[in-house]
Amino acid sequence: MTEHRLALKAVKVFHTFAWFTIEACMVFVLYAGIRGQSDRRAGQAAAVVAGETLIFAANGFHCPLTPLARRLGDPTGSVTDIYLPKWFAHNLPAIHVPLIILAVVLHTRNLRAARLRIPGKRP
C-alpha cells in the first residue's frame, strides 16, 4: 500500500509539473498575442497548449492520468486534489476555452497585420 501511495503522489507531482508547464505556455501565448509577437516561440508554446487540448479532448474531456490515479488508490481518480485548489481544478476547462479563443483571435489579428506589411502580398 505504501508503494501505491508513493506512486500516486508521484503521478500527482508529475501532473502538477505538466499543468504548470502548459499554463506557462498558455500565458506566453496570450502575452505574445497581446504584444503582437506571433513568432516561432509563440507557435511552439501554442503547439504545447494545442497538444494538451487534443489529448484532453481525445480522452473524453478527462485527464488521461485519472484512471492511473484510481488504480493507485485514489477513489475519485483526482490528480489535482492536493496541488491545485479544488474549485480551480474543477473549472480548468471552463477557464481555458475562453483563453484559447482569445489567443487564436489575437494571433489571427497579428498574422493578418503582418501579411499586410509584406510588400508584394495582397490582403
3-state secondary structure the chain: CHHHHHHHHHHHHHHHHHHHHHHHHHHHHHHHHHHCCCCHHHHHHHHHHHHHHHHHHHCCCCCCCHHHHHHCCCCCCCCCCCCCCHHHHHCHHHHHHHHHHHHHHHHHHHHHHHHHHCCCCCC
pLDDT in tens, 37-86: 999 999 999 999 999 999 999 999 888 888 888 888 887 777 665 567 77
pLDDT bin (cut points 50, 70, 90) of residue 4 is confident
Is there a domain that residue 90 lies in? yes
pLDDT at 107 over 90: yes
Is there a domain that residue 91 lies in? yes
Which pLDDT value is given to residue 70? 86
Is there a domain that residue 122 lies in? no
pTM, two decimals, is: 0.82
Structural domain boundaries enclosing 24: 2-117
Q: Higher-confidence residue: 86 or 111?
A: 111
Is there a domain that residue 123 lies in? no
Is there a domain that residue 54 lies in? yes
Is there a domain that residue 70 lies in? yes
Is there a domain that residue 30 lies in? yes
Total structural domains within the chain: 1
Is there a domain that residue 98 lies in? yes
Which pLDDT value is given to residue 61? 87
